[in-house]
Amino acid sequence: MSPLAPAAFPDLPAIDGVEFAAGAAGIKYQGRTDVMLVRLAPGTAIAGAFTRSSTRAACILDCQDKLAGTPDSAAGAAIVVNSGNANAFTGAEGQRGVDAVTGAVAKALGVPAGRVFSSSTGVIGEPLPAERIVAIVDDLRAGLDAGGIADAARAIMTTDTFPKGSAAEIAGDGGPIRIAGIAKGSGMIAPDMATMLVYIFTDASVAPKLLQRMLRKHMDATFNAITVDSDTSTSDALILAATGKSAAAPITDMRGKVARDFQAALGRVMLDLAQQVVRDGEGATKFVEVAVTGAASTGDARKVALSIANSPLVKTALAGEDANWGRVVAAVGKSGAQADRDRLAIRFGDMVLAENGWRAPGYDEGAASAYMKRPELVIGVDLGLGDGRATVWTCDLTHRYIDINADYRS
């Protein structure tokens, strides 16, 4: 279990119109659940965000095609997810596997195949044993339960050490609106998006196009603002489903109070799940916020933040609890962003370590070293050039990361 893990999986609310099941298909490991099925009520609106990798997995391409089309949105829908195999770089066989799995789910649940969305995570380049998933679809259907979200979160884990969940509730116009989400992710984490799968459900009534706008608004500040190892996956997917089953009136105007409250709550759930992914970074012992201010532009601030967060030298210093702020200086310099040595300031927590082009007069090595022993750290950089700012979250790089990834396939 990651030392940064939350104390327990949260008590997530049941979302009216959503049912979950988890089962064991034996895709890679025996004796553990590795398939999740979600049934969504008729009329559910679906939005999504996916990796922009040029070697996207078959299931990602299939989901993107389905969301770009015009399926019967009044019909039911489903999500089916497997761990243990990414079904990526598998040629035409990859799409055949997707079709077999989604087709079996569509038949079992009586929903259009165009409304069945699949995800796969695990080893790249191995054919998906679709027949093993198809063989348990009827059992999954029989086990569907509105209270099964925790088991579903465990079924999608790969190298994760804990299941990830988050929830929020707001007052709608006529009744409460609830949001519950689950995620998996531990390694190969970097924008856009990361090796993660994320499924968020709400009983709000929101049209698909508006739901997509709301999702897109939060992506850069949440799932595209985390990095564990700078590697972008072939298989990242985020699916947001709104069942419309709340007693509250539909959300139709982004300017209204309920819409603004819902948008903020959605953002909180997304950020919580994104940060949990970093807290479960493979081998992680430190959760690190990198906050950059004073950049010439937001884009420059983001370049600097990611350069620091992805630097192996910075990340290994964090693992060794070494207050080596010179590595932060180097990461700023290599970022490609506009920077001026004589305007740069670097902070660890509230301590100013460097400013005006050299070590701060009040620098205290003992205090800085003591700060580095904390499990949660903040690296602050002010470039002194403008109003651009960006924050990303990362973790340290330990030998455990090597242990996990050196023999992942075997």
Facing residues of 237 across strands? 50, 197
Which of 44, 51, 90, 195 does the annotation list as catalytic? 195
Structure tokens at 71: 């399926």
Say which residue the tokens 């919580």 belong to: 272
Total Cβ atoms within 10 A of residue 385? 19
Give buried/exposed letters for 297-335 (b at 16+ CB in 10 A, else e).
beebbbbbbbbbbbbeebbbbbbebebbbebbbbbbeeb
Q: For this structure, is 243 an active site residue?
A: no
CB 145 within 8 A of CB 36: no
246 to each of 114, 145, 272, how far by Cα in Å? 25, 18, 23
- H helices of 234-389, where? 257-279, 298-310, 312-319, 326-334, 365-371
**C-alpha span between 249 and 174 (Å, rounded):** 6
Q: Which residues are catalytic?
A: 195
